[in-house]
Structure 1
Amino acid sequence: MKDLVGVLYNSVPSGVGTKGALALSLDDERELLKKGARWAVERGFGTADDLDKTESGGCIEGADPAAVSGKALERGKNQQGTLGSGNHFLEIQYVSEIFDEAAANAFGLFKGQITVMIHTGSRGLGHQVCTDYLSTMEKAAKKYGIKLYDKELAAAPFNSPEAQQYFSAMKGAANYAWANRQVIMHQTMEAFSRALGASPRELGLRLVYDVAHNIAKVEHHTVGGTKRALVVHRKGATRAFAKGHAELPESYRHIGQPVLIPGDMGRASYVLTGTQKAMAETFGSTCHGAGRLMSRHKAIKAAKGRAIWRELEDQGVTVMTAGRTTLAEEMPEAYKDVSNVVEIVHSAGISKKVAMLKPLGVVKG
């Protein structure tokens, strides 16, 4: 495990502001913003089947690169195929428990199986898009008479020029994130292949699902007995569409959408499935993760004098990180117990437990 984690750490760049192996020209980057994961697959990073197993096929149509600032493009041109920092991770896990055999079989999961979970997004490009448009939206809120209780809730009417321009830029950032995870998945498969001396196919490496957790999308949902087009913004939330939904891969349509809930690096993560109750009550949404119990500052203070990496190693978890303070910020007790959180959404019926995944090896930024 230590060797494998080392190969992954050297194969997938991580850390604040890290540059990747893909140096994009501005033309490449603009094309990527329009195509998302398709851009990556066209260049040999994965297969068409990956797109089928990715939310929205890995691309939201209508992204306008012209709506993305030069500063955002500059930040993004060297960060494609990089993990980033903070709570982003690449984690080797094993399936410790199966709760729903039928769903697990459909997703190709079985007890004792090795899995890999990748959690990252649109890197500096997406962060810059947000920074750029917060200023725009603050002005727009005044213009349209919207009272703000918190400036970070700045908003504009959806059909206004400001909102439409932001929405086009956000689509580009979402597409960048899908491409990024697609490239990292390919890098991960190659790292496994090098470390274990077998091809990804021989190792049984394939994508189960890729789902976003910070994104706004136009979707159709029933409100008051009428089906309407709504802008659904999932922040700290993730999609949980029920079986039969037309957007799901055909192989999963009889079961429902795979829902990925990452936990902390010392306890567990989960795979769930979407439900009809979620469609009726939460616009097809569920939680994204456990949520923090401690601020990053408080976690660093609580970890003073401790060797978090050794504590994890004693639990059987090998970890490598680029940032000196990352392990302290991200130590397990800084987060709620994901099992408790998942039990709540399971009991509420807005997503149903399929499998529990326990960590073995972790790469952090």
Structure 2
Amino acid sequence: MDLNRLDRVTETLWQIPPSGAMRVPGRLFANEELLRDMDDKVYEQVRHVASLPGIVGAALAMPDAHSGYGFPIGGVAAFDPDAGGILSAGGVGFDISCGVRTLHTGLKTLQLAEIRTALADRLGQKIPAGLGREGHLRLNTREIDAMLVGGARWAIEQGYGEAADLDRIEEGGVMTGADPDQVSTLAKTRQRGEMGTLGSGNHYLEVQRVAAIDDPVIASLYGLAEDDILVSLHCGSRGLGHQIGTDYLKRMLAEAPGHGLRLPDRELACAPLASDLGRAYLGALRAGINCALANRQILTHLTREVFAEIEPAARLSLLYDVSHNTCKEEEHAVEGRRRRLFVHRKGATRAYGPGHPSLPEALRPAGQPVIIGGSMGTSSYILAGRGAEQAFASACHGAGRRMSRQQAKRRWTGRAVIEELAGRSILIRSPTLSGIAEEAPGAYKDVEAVVTAAEVNGLAKKVARLEPLIVIKG
């Protein structure tokens, strides 16, 4: 990205001043190196988002931002329904409510040493991963609709987990307002056999160790100590979420002229919040969120079964489950006034600060856990949200790509990546070598720089650094 087109506010905050059709400025939270790694399309996409009706504050890009469909991945924007605000399917993304949940195991690194290979093999067998891979659970139409309404609570009622898990999931594990009738038959059919599956791309299950503690007080509140063994799951709403995005983007594009919408980019097809189409998408979106929450809940149950088989002493309790790729109705202060807003976060994590009433009582003094995934061979991080109103209580969600999947496959082979990581005692299990090449650690930005930029800007605070030991990839 050409930095000459930006106004520098601080070392890690940059602004695109309003021009042309922009209604608000654009703001990017990143240092110079991260910005130079961003493609120029991020600049254009931030400007386009800033021109959408009803946007308030600014169009934002997180430190891990890279270009996406319509919105940049790592993009955040809030819209006021009382000012003609809109809903954008491209501002949510295709993998609705893709997110990360992290589990304690009660184990230490030494306890894992003797069982690590057996654990990696069994997880690789038990956790369905890969493009189009189906699981052992098949739902009929009635069950699909119940899942889309009930989310993680539905999964627990079917025997996939514990009631205590719900306290550690955003929205208590269930997004209210979901409307299965607004989800197409094709979307439901695609999901029929995909519950309890990881999928492909950057989705993973990782067994990790806590390598360092940055904030001992918050770490204690989160139940984290150095050398703890954790498990993190990264996945979303699979085929159902993708089909919802596809269906509504087509409808939004077709109906835009009738709503008087002049789109800066076809990929930013949207609908007024007050329209029938806007309400229909919101109902479908919330159903997609529940699908992702249920999916991660079932995967948690499968993971617990593997640990119970390999190491019965393990106790897998949930630290927290955070979603990205969402739009949620929230209250935020804008220009000194509390406003009801619909906050789009695409590849961005909600990061409520200390004291927020939606947080579990045990975590409330520390702020919301923000889980930042690394890139298979690099560190991941647990941060604590600070509730920064300048970012609508948002933070980054991962390292962020610095090259495309095709570029990565031209540069690395899956076998070479496996061997390189094995040399660092990281075990990889995946059904495809090409998927491993696409996700080579070098294809991603420096995750340390990303989380540092988030911390310096007051979005979230570093709590713990995690290192991968076992990676299950799609």
When normalised by structure 2's length, the TM-score is: 0.75
Give the conservation status (yes or no) of the 8 Å contact 2:414–2:436: no
Aligned to 1:180: 295
Aligned to 2:231: 116
5 Å-filtered alignment, 1:191-230, equals 191-196=306-311, 198=312, 202-230=313-341
Tell me the number of residue pairs that the alignment of Structure 1 and Structure 2 aligns. Answer: 359
Match of 1:23 among 127, 132, 138: 138
Match of 1:283 among 368, 372, 392: 392
How far off is 1:204 after superposition?
A: 3.0
Aligned to 1:231: 342
Aligned to 2:410: 301
Gaps of 5+ in 2: 1-115
How far off is 1:307 after superposition?
A: 1.6
Task: Name segments (4+ residues, structure 1) moved above 2 Å.
Answer: none
Which stretch shifts more, 127-136 or 142-151? Answer: 142-151
Map Cα deviations across residues 312-354 of structure 1 (whole Å, 9 max, x no partner).
1011110011223101100000000111100110111110000
Between the aligned partners of 2:262 and 2:200, the Cα distance in structure 1 is: 34
Gaps of 5+ in 1: none
How far off is 1:149 after superposition?
A: 2.2
Aligned to 1:324: 433
One-letter identity of the residue aligned with 2:412: A
Matched position secondary structure for 1:249: coil
How far off is 1:205 after superposition?
A: 1.5
How far off is 1:290 after superposition?
A: 1.2
Match of 2:372 among 261, 270, 275: 261
What is the root-mean-square deviation of aligned Cα atoms in Å?
A: 1.0
How far off is 1:144 after superposition?
A: 1.4
Give the conservation status (yes or no) of the 8 Å contact 2:413–2:434: no
How far off is 1:151 after superposition?
A: 1.5
Between the aligned partners of 1:17 and 1:179, the Cα distance in structure 2 is: 18
Match of 2:189 among 71, 74, 79: 74
Aligned to 1:248: 359
Matched position secondary structure for 1:208: strand
One-letter identity of the residue aligned with 1:313: A
Q: Which has the higher helix share?
A: 1
One-letter identity of the residue aligned with 1:323: T
Between the aligned partners of 1:37 and 1:257, the Cα distance in structure 2 is: 19
Between the aligned partners of 2:266 and 2:120, the Cα distance in structure 1 is: 41
Match of 1:349 among 458, 463, 466: 458
Matched position secondary structure for 1:114: strand
One-letter identity of the residue aligned with 2:444: Y
Between the aligned partners of 2:225 and 2:380, the Cα distance in structure 1 is: 15
Query: Percent identity of the aligned residues?
Result: 47
Aligned to 2:285: 170
One-letter identity of the residue aligned with 1:166: Y
Aligned to 2:50: none
Matched position secondary structure for 2:362: helix
Matched position secondary structure for 2:406: helix
Aligned to 1:314: 423
One-letter identity of the residue aligned with 1:137: M
Between the aligned partners of 1:73 and 1:290, the Cα distance in structure 2 is: 32
How far off is 1:304 after superposition?
A: 4.4
Which stretch shifts more, 138-147 or 11-20? Answer: 138-147
One-letter identity of the residue aligned with 1:247: S
Give the conservation status (yes or no) of the 8 Å contact 2:126–2:306: yes
Give the conservation status (yes or no) of the 8 Å contact 2:414–2:434: no
One-letter identity of the residue aligned with 2:292: A
Q: Which has the higher strand share?
A: 2
Between the aligned partners of 2:271 and 2:316, the Cα distance in structure 1 is: 44
Distance 1:53 1:305, change over 3 A: closer
Between the aligned partners of 2:334 and 2:255, the Cα distance in structure 1 is: 28
Map Cα deviations across residues 177-213 of structure 1 (whole Å, 9 max, x no partner).
00000110111111111122x1xxx313210000101
Between the aligned partners of 2:381 and 2:267, the Cα distance in structure 1 is: 31
How far off is 1:306 after superposition?
A: 5.8
Between the aligned partners of 1:343 and 1:65, the Cα distance in structure 2 is: 40
Map Cα deviations across residues 280-305 of structure 1 (whole Å, 9 max, x no partner).
21111000111101100000000149
Map Cα deviations across residues 192-237 of structure 1 (whole Å, 9 max, x no partner).
11122x1xxx313210000101110100111111111100011010
Map Cα deviations across residues 6-57 of structure 1 (whole Å, 9 max, x no partner).
1111111011111111111110110000010000111121111110000001
Between the aligned partners of 1:74 and 1:36, the Cα distance in structure 2 is: 17
